[in-house]
Amino acid sequence: MTTPAPLETRAQQLVVITGATGFIGRTIAAAVRRDGWSVRALVRRPDAALAAEGIDLVTGALEDEASLRRLVAGAGFVIHCAGAIKARTAEAFHTVNAAGTERLLAAMAQVAQPSRLILMSSLAAREPSLSAYAASKRAGETIALADANTTARDLCIVRPPAVYGPGDLTTLGLFRTLGSRLALLPGRSDARFSLIYVEDLAELASALLRKPSWGGQIIEPDDGQAGGYRWADLVAVAGRHLRRSVRTCYLPAGLLWGPVKAYEAVMRLAGSVPTVSTDKLRELFHRDWVCRLTPPAACTCWQPRVQFSEGFARTWSWYTRSGWI
Ligand SMILES: NC(=O)c1ccc[n+]([C@@H]2O[C@H](COP(=O)([O-])OP(=O)(O)OC[C@H]3O[C@@H](n4cnc5c(N)ncnc54)[C@H](OP(=O)(O)O)[C@@H]3O)[C@@H](O)[C@H]2O)c1
């Protein structure tokens, strides 16, 4: 197993990142660059912003084995952050999140230097029966764990809960809801869930690179809110920040199920990716999305800095400045 370079030689250590054009991967790439490492990223199309940060770009995809071999050549670390968070079918989720991980590992096995792997999984992987997305993320973990067992590769699986922050399209709808006077919430009033601000997750990925080994551990990082949040906590934060009273209405699953199922069927027939699905409803109505395997500070040199009150303010400000809200 390779040991990380001391501070002054980080620039000579190559960190490969997949998914660096996405919400989380882009923030991780910036954090890792700030920390002084050399970074190479897989991109499906040219990305001037990444290139301007001094990141070496390899054009390719998880389906293109030759590009994956070029990508990982000489890497000390691979942070595998590319993934499908929306897809038309279960097979499409599997192709990217499970088979894509397998192809990346196969490419890593073909190059001379062994590299260490951080797999960006999801808390959803804890409940693989809830959705095709969750099942595909669990399958990706299983593939990475089996590879680590047979090759002795050093592996860390990171299972973030819901990630939010500037630039995120997925939680934009939630922020719009929280910013209205009547928050219509598709979920249960007694559900509890953890959150993490994207910069904190990126700092965690960067801090992990400084650890000499991870030993295949699975971590579920959150923003430090013990026991997670309830929807009412989020509504209260939004109300305080926006200085308005926000009323809450919980939309029952039974009311949403039929229309969402019909919408999903139409989108499938049209060959389009549905933005909401019955799978997503099952995830939303799950009662417990609280992180349990939180990384102890002593083990990661990392502490979350941004709780939801601060994260809401920063993200709201970014959305309004950018004209998204
Ligand atoms: N957002 C969350 O709340 C959350 C929570 C837990 C876990 N995660 C996990 O974190 C990872 C990143 O999520 P995100 O929110 O940043 O998603 P995102 O914004 O949709 O980014 C996905 C990234 O993966 C790349 N990608 C997708 N399919 C690919 C393929 N076949 N080949 C190469 N690259 C491909 C995308 O490239 P293009 O730009 O070319 O499309 C993009 O860079 C995912 O693995 C997701 O499961 C996310």
Q: Are 104 and 86 in contact (CB under 8 A)?
A: no
Task: Tell me the best of 16, 18, 24 to mutate to test the pocket of ligand 1, counting ligand atoms within 8 Å of each CB and taking the most.
Answer: 24
pLDDT at residue 222, rounded to an integer? 97
- Band the pLDDT of 297: cuts 50, 70, 90: confident
- Ligand 1 centroid–CA 173 distance in Å is 18
pLDDT one-digit tens code per residue, 181-209: 999 999 999 999 999 999 999 999 999 99
Distance of CA 92 to the CA centre of its chain: 18
The residue whose CA is least distant from atom 23 of ligand 1 is 19
How confident is the model at residue 6, as a pLDDT? 59
Q: Which pTM value belongs to this model?
A: 0.95
3-state secondary structure of 40: strand
Tell me if 98 CB under 6 Å of ligand 1.
Answer: no
> 80-112 pLDDT, tens per residue?
999 999 999 999 999 999 999 999 999 999 987
Indicate if ligand 1 lies below 6 Å from the C-beta of 86.
Answer: no
User: At 204, is the secondary structure helix, strand, or coil?
Assistant: helix
- All structural domains of the chain: 7-163+198-222+291-305 (3.40.50.720)
Please, which residues bridge with residue 117 across strands? 78, 155
Amino acid at 199: E
**Residue 299: is its pLDDT beyond 80?**
no
- What are the backbone angles phi and psi of residue 297, rounded to the nearest 5°? -55, -40
DSSP state of 194: -
Task: Outline where DSSP puts E strands in the chain.
Answer: 14-18, 38-43, 56-59, 77-80, 116-120, 155-158, 162-164, 182-185, 192-193, 195-197, 217-219, 247-250, 288-289
